[in-house]
A and B are shown apart, each in its own frame.
Chain A
Amino acid sequence: MAERKVVDRGGAWCVVGSGPHGLSALKALLQHGIEADGFERAADLGGNWNFGAPTSRVYESTHLISSKPFTQFPDFPMPDSYPDYPSHRQVKEYFDRYADHFGLRDRITFGAEVVGAEPVDDGAAWLVTVRTGRRSTTYRYAGLVVANGHNWNPKIPAYDGLADFAGTVLHSADYKGPDVLRGRRVLVVGAGNTGCDVAVESAQNAARTWHSTRRGYYYNPKFLMGKPSDQMADSLLALRVPLALRRALFSTSLKITVGDFAKYGLKRPDHRFFETHPIVNQQLVYYVGQGDIAPVDDVARFDADGAVFADGSRADVDVVVFCTGYLVTFPFLEQEWLNWQGDHPRLFLQMFTPAFDNLVVSGLIQPDSGQWTLAHWQGVLLARVAESLRSDPVRARGFLSRAPQEAGRRFSAGTHYKDSTRHYYEVAHQDYLAALQDAIHELEQVR
């Protein structure tokens, strides 16, 4: 076999993915004087928000469910002209402007899929193999940032009889708009934010809609007393209101505005507020109340005509939309490099692996808030680590040496999340950001 040609990029770092986490990592590295190259599988940046690209999982009607202040990059606020909850088109435009402002676009190779990565020189560098069209190129980098997203590889639970079902089966990953639902009998499985959005669109377009959920949830309104509800939640945090009181205030406000979910025919939540990832959907309960959505139990099995539910009832349907989430996948990395234990990786600050100093994951978080303020600070922290590895390796290694014992530490701000694969990456934003800030201070080099 001929020896593979390697392009040596010296002290540069490699960033995989150009979604919000890839962009913020690239920008932070450059800002800290670290050369960096980005690679993006799609033809344009934005990752999940690049609507219409194979990498994108948003649908036509997607709007943010967290409001601007904590969702935006703190050093590049969304325009004043944007509404509280911008649409996916505005989000894409925002990322485009961010990338252009900081000169990131020229640093990214588009249509380039990272197909392999391997540590060399005892972990001092990474060989990254990139495929563009039919050509493969291998580069050598001083470090590797993995920001390939965690919401792209669809997860469909195994059900008896699903193979016999004669209708259409769809994962929300491939759901782009309500055309596939129009005039048909639809079963929506799953009550994540996507499941609730799809159930609502189905209620507006389908002949009939059933919505199957494993448990009852708190369906939060987008606005409370005229203010985006996440800003309401952050007001209580700013005032340092303790968890028990915040919990009481939120369940009371839901009781006053919506009331007992069971009265609508929904399951009553089997957990306390903050113990599951928040669902923000004002319309679901409304359509349930109007009879346009029939809430049903967990699916027990499928047959040719439809689904049978755990309580023995059944529904004959034409279309099933599985809004059952995604599998976290790093196709080009060995599991042990990311300290996988069981079915998910255990990382220090949900970013750093005990196995390598120069392999960082950005974006493996699911906050109870907006996301990109955290993307920004993850970027700053990883850039500080890269900077310290170069200029002050003793300090960098001192920081990273805590990875083995701290890998897997959760940032739940005192809450016990419901045991579910859905909450592997859940973080309470204020708790997690405080930990990032401490780490950033530890690596501060400027006075």
Chain B
Amino acid sequence: MRGTKALRPWDWAFPPKPVTHREVLSAVPSEPTGRPPLLMVHGLAHAAWCFGENWVPAAAEAGFPSYAVSLRGHGGSAGARHLRRTLSRDYVHDVLQTITELPEPPVLVGHSHGALIAQLVADRYPLRGLVLLAPAPLHSAVGDLLAIAKDRPADALGAVVGRTLSMEPEILFEGLDPQTARRYADRTGPESPLVQWELLLRRTRGPVRCPVLVVGTPQDRLVRAVDVERTAADFGVEPIWFPGMGHDLMLDRGWEDVLATVLDFAGHLPAWGTGVPR
């Protein structure tokens, strides 16, 4: 890890292009509850719907103002035409833009590649808390690609040549009935090849001062458990495991338990501005 980064000349010189429309699904408790807002960020080829399906309404029911954003080129957000030219930094921009529209600093919940984006956002913005679900690693996903190549060589090769990583039901889910699993898998869309290739790079971040929760599943067919462990260790925390679930922890059978863990974490955070450095 490096120090706090103030100098970002590439961002000043070549800022990400603005997006004309961003899809944000939300559910907000009717009365103020004092709970921090949750902002959920999806991974590769997914969109806000993957959180909108279960987590957004359930978290709001539990008193948390809940939001899920579709990154550019995904779901109902604009930018599909430029998807092949989109970089991770554009996604970071999209999340920061969404954060500035929230009434107060949120707990950022990132899934898979969205968790990698969330870590890069935490490097720039003082989050209330950071939740990483089956996080893609900052330290290069070469190992994950090789693991995929061992199981499903065609998928890995496809990703290398720029095709969207396969999101078949058996890759994402362990416990769903086949129809539901199929329905969810069919909702996934294309991904930027540049963003997929960037996963192989080693990224760095500065110190993150907010509390961090890392969640994984040993049955994950996209992100290896060792990578989840390493990400957690980088933040000095232990991952929480949900055995028997697939990569899509917010959709697979048992999502209620994962959400309960996340809400327990989000409900016990120090108030923004009074947190002491860890």
Asked if A103 CB lies within 8 Å of chain B CBs, one says yes
- Complex interface: chain A residues within 8 A of B14 (CB): 231, 235, 238
A97→B100 contact, CB < 8 A:
yes
How many contacting A-B pairs (Cβ < 8 A)?
105
Contact A441 B7 (CB under 8 A): no
Cβ-neighbour of B125 out of A70, A75, A231, A436 (below 8 A): A75
Q: Which residues of B contact A79 (CB under 8 A)?
A: 97, 100-101
Task: Tell me, yes or no, whether A332 is within 8 Å of chain B by CB.
Answer: no
Least CB distance from A93 to B in Å reads 12
Interface of B (DSSP majority class): loop
Q: Which of A31, A237, A441, A444 contacts B9 (CB under 8 A)?
A: A237
B contact residues around A437 at 8 Å (CB): 3-7
Q: Does A389 make an interface contact (CB < 8 A)?
A: no
* Docked pose: A30 CA to B272 CA in angstroms: 8
* A234-B13, A437-B6 known; A101+B104 contact, CB < 8 A: yes
| Separation of A304 and B47 alpha carbons in the complex (Å) | 72
A235 x B7 contact (CB < 8 A): no
Cβ–Cβ contact B7 & A440, under 8 A: no
Asked whether B11 lies within 8 Å of A69 as measured between CB atoms, the reply is: yes
Residues of B within 8 Å of A75, CB to CB, are 96, 124-126
Given contacts A79-B97, A80-B19, A433-B6, contact A101 B207 (CB under 8 A): no
A158 part of interface (Cβ distance < 8 Å):
no
Most central of B6, B96, B272, B278 by chain A CB within 10 Å: B6
User: CB within 8 Å of B: which of A364-396?
Assistant: 373, 377, 380, 387
B105-118: contact bitstring with A at CB < 8 Å (1 yes, 0 no)? Answer: 10000000000000
B8 interface neighbour in A74, A441, A444, Cβ under 8 Å: A74
A447 at the interface (CB under 8 A from B): yes
CA distance in complex: A76, B127 (Å): 12
Report B-chain residues with C-beta under 8 Å of the C-beta of A77. 93, 96-97, 100
Q: How large is the interface on B (under 10, 10 to 19, 20 to 34, 35 or more residues)?
A: 35 or more
Do residues A101 and B7 form an inter-chain contact, with CB atoms below 8 A? no
Across the interface, do A69 and B7 meet the contact criterion of CB distance under 8 Å?
no
A5, chain B: closest CB distance, angstroms: 28
**Complex contact A101–B100 (CB within 8 A):** yes
CB distance from A379 to the nearest CB of B (A): 11
Assembled-state Cα–Cα distance A229/B5 (Å):
24
Q: Is B103 an interface residue (CB 8 A)?
A: yes
Q: Name which residue of chain A comes closest to B236, CB basis.
A: A447
**Is B189 interfacial (CB 8 A cutoff)?**
no
| Given A31-B272, A101-B105, A234-B9, 9 other A-B residues pairs in contact with their CB atoms under 8 A | A74-B124, A77-B93, A101-B104, A102-B273, A234-B12, A238-B9, A430-B9, A444-B207, A446-B208
Some 24 contacts from A to B, beta carbons below 8 A apart, are: A30-B274, A33-B275, A33-B276, A69-B12, A70-B12, A77-B93, A77-B97, A77-B100, A79-B101, A81-B18, A101-B100, A101-B104, A101-B105, A103-B272, A231-B14, A234-B9, A238-B9, A238-B13, A437-B4, A437-B6, A444-B3, A444-B4, A444-B207, A445-B277
